[in-house]
Amino acid sequence: MFWKAILITTLAMGALAEYQVTEDQKKQYTDMLKQYCKKNGAEDKVDEVKTSITNFADCMKAIIDADTLKKEIEDAKPKGALDEVFKKYCAKSPQLKTCIHTLMTGVTPCLDTTARDNIGFANNATDQLIDFVCYKDGDRIALFIAEQGPECFQEKASNIRECATAIREGINSVDDAKKLTQAEQCAKFDELTACIVKALEECSTPTPGNMAESLFRFVRRSSPCPKKEE
């Protein structure tokens, strides 16, 4: 389930950031989608699914304009008013959840039977993730911004990419990912978590690393992976 979610999320984020990616990257997203749909006997649904992904991007942009949000954050920092900014955006979480649920319904034609059966689980997991981020009207994300979280992620971007590359070792296609057992998927997730948290802990403040670790723990608890002692 992790890897199906990663595939769909990659496609969606590619659409969301369409204005930032190269033509080669757009082609790569489309080829991935075609491969996945063809594998599940739904090659004729590619255009339909692409439209749902594009609609998701439009839906997201209607809720959050990246440039506007960036300006609001910069204006709020000197005033110590970040909590007000994120309270406003977290009030839109019902619309955000609707965007995601609509996306999941839109990509269903290309999913295999197992993935379709897990749509409800996926929707519930994303709802919980949004609730985690918007806990107490966005206090967590406000603290993350105030404690130089984005700067930390930018500083460690190459390290994080290396973490992602490392867990993809031996996985060269969708079929390879689907062959992973649940235990192997969970191990990959734990490996990725440990690698990213370690990289972020090297930043000047511990908050980004701590919050990333809390988020990963939350995601894991919502997954089918065996519970770990914390």
pLDDT at 120: 83
Q: Distance between the two ends of the chain, CA-based, in angstroms?
A: 23
Euclidean distance between CA atoms 155 and 203, whole angstroms: 8
pLDDT at 6: 47
pLDDT in tens, 185-200: 889 889 999 999 999 9
Q: Name residues of the chain where pLDDT drops below 70.
A: 1-22, 25, 174, 229-230
pLDDT at 21: 56
pLDDT at 9: 47
pLDDT at 176: 77
pLDDT at 180: 83
pLDDT at 3: 47
Euclidean distance between CA atoms 65 and 104, whole angstroms: 22
Residue 33 has a CB neighbour count (10 Å cut-off) of 23
pLDDT at 22: 65
pLDDT at 89: 92
Task: Give the sign of the dihedral formed by CA 128, CA 132, CA 135, CA 138.
Answer: negative
pLDDT at 71: 92
Task: Give the sign of the dihedral formed by CA 171, CA 182, CA 128, CA 96.
Answer: positive
State pTM to two decimals: 0.69
C-alpha 136, offset from chain centre: 21
pLDDT at 229: 63
Euclidean distance between CA atoms 103 and 12, whole angstroms: 8
